[in-house]
Amino acid sequence: MTAVRDRLIFALDVSTAAEARAWVDRLGDSVSFYKIGMELLTSGDYFRVLEDLAGRGKRVFVDLKFHDVPATVAATIKGLTRYPVSFCTIHGQHDGMMRAASQEKGAIKLLAVTVLTSMDRSDLRQLGIDREPSEVVLERAAAARAAGCDGVIASGQEAAALRQANGPGFLVVCPGIRPAGPAGDDQKRTVDVPQAFAAGADYIVVGRPIRQAADPRAAAEALQDQIARALAG
């Protein structure tokens, strides 16, 4: 059973190990699950930060959104199993790649990115896909599940349909959380915390609403309270 506090995943989108450490100190026990992604990769300390987080009792989500030929992605996922990683992302666009990666994931929960929460219908059209994001998300989730992935990354706007189509065991992880409504940044398919959990999200990923808050720790605690209320309710 997942601890309620683990349902909030903080996007540690910083570019140096020193900043990463400062955030973990600042947030204390208000955050127990950290997502480390591409921005931290160029610090040269990515895996040191990963191991520091685990050493401090935090869960770690490696969000590097792998997408390459199946053998390369599978070997990369296999390599990641040497580290204390709870979640990891790959793009959910190719069945063969997802199948190969799933076979090497060990205890890591493998999550397929369906359609980025920064994309709307017109962005999809630019990619040659003239369909609603929700249709594409559902189709890619079905393919990810069939290929052996543990869940998907999608917006809260698609969470209810994903839950209905895939049942209770399939993880639905939602970024694009904007507790105070749309913030005018790069996120387009946004929801707030009660909406995400009412729709059946298992986890939310939150970056800027915490990082840019006047009091980030208080903002994280407020989100934890909202999550606890939504799940109780």
Q: Catalytic residues, which ones?
A: 65
Binding mask 166-195 for ligand C5P (x = CB under 6 A): ---------xx----------x--------
Is residue 151 close enough to count as binding ligand C5P by CB under 6 A?
no
Residue 91: closest CA among 58, 74, 115, 108? 115
Q: Under the criterion CB under 6 A, does residue 153 sit at the interface with ligand C5P? A: yes
> Mask 58-87, x = binds ligand C5P (CB under 6 A)?
-----x------------------------
Q: Which helix (H) or strand (E) holds 161?
A: helix 159-166
**Residue placing its CB nearer to ligand C5P in the complex, 21 or 65:** 65
Question: Which helix (DSSP H) or strand (DSSP E) does residue 59 occupy?
Answer: strand 59-66
Contacts of 17 (CB under 8 A, 6+ apart): 43, 45, 48, 49, 52
Member of 49, 62, 113, 199 binding ligand C5P (CB under 6 A): 113
Among 73, 108, 116, 159, binds ligand C5P (CB under 6 A): 116
Given 7, 13, 149, 159, the residue binding ligand C5P (CB under 6 A): 13
